[in-house]
């Protein structure tokens, strides 16, 4: 019933996604969401820990691109200081942003993974494109206005998963 909503893996934070884990999956690139995946939706800059994660990926030869539904200024301000390519106003879950990201990374769908915090945008869009997905627990408890509706729907899915004994994070 939830085939397009269930990620391949649930992770508590992006830091669980390591070059070794990706190599074992044959993954050479990451398409990642920005807000509440990498940093809080209202944080302008990357944390030191996140910069170290970017560097670790780069050193391992893992390409990273940000695909965000947010506006150009928000995404550019965050991504450019770290030399991370980006797609803004991605319109996830529509497929164009995923395709554009794969073209920019020069990788095929079986060589990339999507890392995001929302079922209805990040996971659904990537699964429809047959891209491996990691659903990360949101880094903040609050959301922007548009995301609040998605979280309402997600809670219904999670409640159903809990009833079936399949809830990923146990709380």
Taking Cα atoms as reference points, which of 51, 55, 60, 129 lies closest to residue 90? 129
Who wins on pLDDT, 169 or 114? 114
Residue 118 in domain: yes
**Tokens matching residue 82:** 């770290």
Model confidence, pTM = 0.83
Residue 123 in domain: yes
Which strands sit side by side in the sheet containing 29-32, from one edge to the other?
9-11, 132-136, 112-116, 29-32, 63-67, 86-87
pLDDT mean over 113-142 = 89
Average pLDDT, the chain: 87
Segments forming the whole domain that contains residue 75: 9-163
Report the CATH number that the domain containing residue 57 is assigned in CATH.
3.40.50.1000
Residue 171 in domain: no
Q: At CA 133, angle to CA 128 and CA 135, rounded to 5?
A: 120
Residue 62 in domain: yes
At 158, the pLDDT band (50, 70, 90 cuts) reads: low
Q: Considering its fold, how many domains does the chain have in total?
A: 1
Residue 28 in domain: yes
Rounded Cα distance between 110 and 100, Å, is 15
DSSP secondary structure of 11-41: ESSGGG--HHHHHHHT--EEEE--BTTTB-T
């Amino acid at each position: 019933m939830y085939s397009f909503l269930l990620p391949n893996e649930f992770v508590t934070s992006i830091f669980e996604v390591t070059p070794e884990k990706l190599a074992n999956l044959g993954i050479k690139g990451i398409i990642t969401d920005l807000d509440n995946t990498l940093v809080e939706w209202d944080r302008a800059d990357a944390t030191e820990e996140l910069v170290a994660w970017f560097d670790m990926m780069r050193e391992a030869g893992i390409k990273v691109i940000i695909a965000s539904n947010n506006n150009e200024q928000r995404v550019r301000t965050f991504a450019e200081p770290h030399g991370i390519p980006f797609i803004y106003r991605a319109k996830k879950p529509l497929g164009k942003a995923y395709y554009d990201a794969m073209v920019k990374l020069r990788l095929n769908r079986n060589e990339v993974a999507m890392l995001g915090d929302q079922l209805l945008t990040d996971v659904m869009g990537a699964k429809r494109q047959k891209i491996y997905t990691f659903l990360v627990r949101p880094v903040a408890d609050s959301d922007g206005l548009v995301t609040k509706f998605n979280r309402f729907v997600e809670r219904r899915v999670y409640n159903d998963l809990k009833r079936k004994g399949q809830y990923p994070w146990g709380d």
